[in-house]
């Protein structure tokens, strides 16, 4: 099945052949032939963003909430450079993106032509792979490889840079069947001997814990199902990274909450004191481990990861299994059953008693006030009033993000979209746009901060244009809250440039954009305003004015170990060593 098509037509055709329904983009000179082909084809819906960064985050939200690749189409030069933040974000969080960039015609490359940038050079370190297509003959193969590489193995972003003359040229198009790559062959199945060794260790464990991450989400719904099955079979406690929330239901009694810098006391203490850690699809990020030389000092560690370079990178493990989480879990369950293994019931019982003692500290407790809304309270109320609706939540980055992770209870995978690795302020609003495009009837809420949301505020205009009823729930404390918190705890309360002197009136701003603005300032009106927000079938900017000085606890200060957490009820200033102050 081959066909004579122009390069631009090949792009559209390849997108359709890969099942793409929606793309996010912004036109410009070097990509006009593709936009022209798009205009003459009605199989693909294009969402016009207001800034290319918005396109990449929208595509990330789309990808993370569907399990399908997100597709971005931008022009050369500034179009491509504006996409860099989103590409880097997708690389850090293993999100499959296919980003197609226009490029100046081949004869002008290297000439400092108008809107020329070395796109493959700039995006080389922030993509899984990228290509500059100089010859129309290579275009169909590269387009198919792009989807294959973005979506398989450890997913990630790819860039296909297509000069304008190649978009005009005609060539022979062939479909995506039998895509094989000479060198790229991701490993899916884990080493059975090591899996067998792991289940033996699991059966012997006295103080075990599952520590799971975004890799479970990326292994698809089956990954979450198998995780649930295996965790319940063993009766072990489970914690997860920020990226892994939703893989295991937060309402389950074996769930300890998120771990790490702002994780729960019980999760971090259990990680510190465990004798067996079963890490699946998580990567021992520094926000998770704290001080590595004091990280879970007495445990044996099993690590399942699809990326061989994640194993033994930050923390040395005893059993490293390279493979896809779902496949390895499937083998674990099969071997567990075949060997008729049972967990050590008596030991597990006393381990749970110890964990219940930590749980009793009630580490997420906070004091409410009569006249001011506490940010934690706002998220708790948002959760209560939206639960049971399969709400999709995205976030920006900062305190509100951590509170969302702590207080919003995720029951299903693919419902939590956040910028974990890169920590990109401005991620949440465009991500919500992408999620809503993928799930037009769902409730999509971006839990935001007033500082973050202003980084990509203009995308509210995209939401208005496409009737995407996203809800931007701003916890407005007039500070860059996490920066302020660190300045309070680590820099002697010198709040250097972390206060926004001039904020827009978000309600009137919403109205100016043609969206709906709602403001809540007291706890008494919170529920009613949130309900109003949910009921409006239009984009909403919700200005939730909260306590300016609330800090996010628990917290493991930098340079400290899991068992050295600061809790909210800790009296006085927490002690941070001089050494800890130089860390971030």
Partner 1 sequence: MTEQPKSAYFLVDNKAAVISKTFAVLVDNEAGVLARVVGLFSGRGYNIESLTVAEVDHLDHTSRITIVTSGTSDVLEQIKHQLERLVPVHKVIDLTEETPGIQREMALVKVAGQGEKRVEAMRLSDVFRARVVDTTHSSFVFEITGNQQKIDAFVDLMRPLGLVEVSRTGVVAITRGAEAM
* 180 touching partner 1, by CB under 8 A: no
Phi, psi of 25 (to 5 degrees): -165, -175
Spell out a b/e string for 537-559, using b for 16 or more CB atoms within 10 Å of the CB, else e. Answer: eebbbbbbbbbeebbbbbbbbbb
User: Which of positions 555-574 make contact with partner 1 (CB under 8 A)?
Assistant: 558-559
* 143 touching partner 1, by CB under 8 A: no
User: Which of positions 147-176 make contact with partner 1 (CB under 8 A)?
Assistant: 149
Nearer to partner 1, 132 or 373 (CB): 132
* Terminal Cα distance for the chain, rounded: 55
DSSP run (H or E) holding 423: none
* 353 touching partner 1, by CB under 8 A: no
CB of 173 to partner 1, least distance (A): 21
Q: Is the backbone of residue 433 left (phi > 0), alpha (psi -120 to 50) or beta?
A: alpha
Longest dimension (CA), the chain: 74
- Confirm whether 164 is a catalytic residue: yes
Nearer to partner 1, 125 or 524 (CB): 125
Among residues 68, 115, 197, 206, the one annotated as catalytic is 115
* 580 touching partner 1, by CB under 8 A: yes
Stretch that binds partner 1, among 15-23, 129-137, 234-242, 428-436 (CB under 8 A): 129-137
Nearer to partner 1, 240 or 289 (CB): 289
Among residues 482, 533, 555, 565, the one annotated as catalytic is 482
Nearer to partner 1, 346 or 584 (CB): 584
Which residue intervals of 497-561 are DSSP H helices? Answer: 506-513, 523-535
Residue from 177, 183, 298, 496 touching partner 1 (CB under 8 A): that is 183
Q: ∠ CA 577-583-584 to the nearest 5 degrees?
A: 125
Nearest to 45 by CA among 355, 328, 465: 465
CB of 328 to partner 1, least distance (A): 18
CB of 308 to partner 1, least distance (A): 5
User: Which of positions 101-120 make contact with partner 1 (CB under 8 A)?
Assistant: 120
The size of the interface with partner 1 (CB under 8 A), counted in residues, is 38
* 579 touching partner 1, by CB under 8 A: yes
What is the residue whose two structure tokens read 């396109």? 55
CB of 248 to partner 1, least distance (A): 25
- Confirm whether 39 is a catalytic residue: no
Query: From CA 165, how far away is CA 157, in angstroms rounded?
Result: 25
Among residues 114, 531, 573, 575, the one annotated as catalytic is 114
What is the x/- site pattern for partner 1, positions 253-292, by CB under 8 A? --------------------------------xx--xxxx
Whether 47 and 78 have beta carbons less than 8 Å apart is answered as: no
What is the residue whose two structure tokens read 């500070």? 479
Nearest to 543 by CA among 562, 557, 525: 525
- Confirm whether 236 is a catalytic residue: no
Nearest to 175 by CA among 143, 146, 149: 143
* 191 touching partner 1, by CB under 8 A: no
Strand-pairing partners, residue 2, are: 174
* 181 touching partner 1, by CB under 8 A: yes
- Confirm whether 115 is a catalytic residue: yes
CB of 307 to partner 1, least distance (A): 7
Phi, psi of 552 (to 5 degrees): -95, 115
What is the x/- site pattern for partner 1, positions 290-319, by CB under 8 A? xxxxx------------xxx-xxxx-x---
Phi, psi of 48 (to 5 degrees): -85, 115
Nearer to partner 1, 134 or 189 (CB): 134
CB of 418 to partner 1, least distance (A): 20
- Give me 562's structure tokens: 């899991």
What is the x/- site pattern for partner 1, positions 511-530, by CB under 8 A? --------------------
Query: From CA 487, how far away is CA 475, in angstroms rounded?
Result: 19
DSSP sequence for 196-235:
HHHHHHHHH-SSEEEEE-HHHHHT-HHHHHHHHHHHHHHT
Query: From CA 322, how far away is CA 320, in angstroms rounded?
Result: 7
CB of 580 to partner 1, least distance (A): 7
What is the residue whose two structure tokens read 């292994």? 219
Please report, as ranges, the residues that interact with partner 1 according to CB under 8 A.
120-121, 124-125, 128-129, 132, 134, 149, 181-184, 285-286, 289-294, 307-309, 311-314, 316, 558-559, 577-580, 582-584
So which residues are the catalytic ones?
A: 52, 114-115, 164, 482
């Amino acid at each position: 099945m081959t066909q004579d098509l122009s390069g631009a037509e090949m792009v559209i055709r390849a997108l359709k052949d890969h099942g793409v329904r929606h793309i996010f983009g912004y036109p410009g000179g070097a990509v006009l032939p593709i936009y022209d082909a798009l205009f003459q084809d009605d199989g693909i819906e294009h969402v016009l963003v207001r800034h290319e960064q918005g396109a990449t985050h929208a595509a990330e939200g789309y990808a993370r909430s569907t399990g399908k690749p997100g597709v971005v189409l931008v022009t050369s030069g500034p179009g491509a450079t504006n996409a860099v933040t989103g590409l880097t974000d997708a690389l850090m969080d293993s999100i499959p993106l296919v980003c197609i960039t226009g490029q100046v015609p081949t004869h002008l490359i290297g000439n400092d032509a108008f809107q020329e940038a070395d796109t493959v050079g700039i995006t080389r370190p922030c993509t899984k792979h990228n290509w500059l297509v100089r010859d129309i003959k290579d275009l169909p193969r590269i387009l198919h490889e792009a989807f294959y590489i973005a979506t398989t193995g450890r997913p990630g972003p790819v860039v296909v840079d297509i000069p304008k003359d190649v978009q005009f040229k005609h060539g022979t198009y062939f479909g995506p069947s039998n895509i094989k790559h000479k060198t790229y062959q991701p490993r899916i199945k884990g080493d059975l001997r090591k899996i067998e060794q792991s289940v033996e260790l699991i059966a012997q464990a006295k103080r075990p814990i599952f520590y799971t991450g975004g890799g479970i989400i990326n292994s698809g719904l089956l990954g979450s199902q198998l995780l649930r099955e295996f965790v319940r079979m063993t009766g072990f406690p489970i914690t997860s990274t920020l990226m892994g929330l939703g893989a295991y239901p937060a309402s389950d009694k074996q769930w300890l909450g998120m771990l790490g810098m702002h994780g729960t006391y019980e999760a971090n203490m259990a990680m510190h004191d465990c004798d067996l850690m079963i890490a699946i699809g998580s990567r021992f990020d520094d926000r998770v481990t704290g001080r590595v030389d004091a990280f879970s000092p007495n445990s044996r560690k099993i690590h399942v990861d699809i990326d061989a370079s994640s194993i033994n990178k930050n923390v040395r493990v005893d059993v490293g299994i390279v493979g896809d989480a779902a496949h390895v879990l499937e083998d674990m369950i099969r071997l567990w059953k075949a060997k008729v293994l049972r967990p050590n019931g008596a030991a597990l019982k006393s381990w749970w008693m110890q964990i219940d003692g930590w749980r009793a500290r009630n580490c997420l407790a906070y004091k409410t006030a009569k006249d001011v809304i506490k940010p934690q309270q706002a998220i708790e109320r948002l959760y209560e009033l939206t639960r049971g609706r399969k709400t999709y939540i995205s976030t920006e980055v900062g305190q509100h993000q951590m509170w969302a992770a702590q207080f919003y209870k995720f029951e299903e995978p693919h419902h939590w979209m956040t910028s974990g690795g890169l920590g990109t302020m401005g991620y949440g609003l465009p991500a919500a746009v992408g999620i809503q495009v993928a799930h037009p009837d769902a409730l999509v809420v971006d839990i935001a901060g007033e500082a973050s949301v202003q980084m990509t505020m203009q995308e509210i205009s995209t939401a208005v244009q496409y009737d995407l009823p996203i809800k931007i729930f701003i916890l407005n404390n007039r500070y860059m809250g996490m920066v302020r918190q660190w300045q309070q705890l680590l820099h002697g309360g010198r709040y250097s440039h972390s206060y926004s002197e001039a904020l827009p009136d978000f309600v009137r701003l919403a109205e100016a954009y043609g969206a709906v603005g709602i403001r809540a300032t007291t706890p008494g009106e919170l529920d009613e305003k949130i309900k109003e927000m949910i009921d409006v079938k239009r984009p909403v900017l919700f200005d939730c004015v909260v306590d300016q000085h609330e800090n996010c606890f628990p917290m493991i200060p930098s340079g400290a170990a899991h068992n050295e957490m600061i809790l909210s009820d800790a009296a006085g200033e927490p002690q941070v060593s001089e050494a800890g102050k130089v860390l971030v």
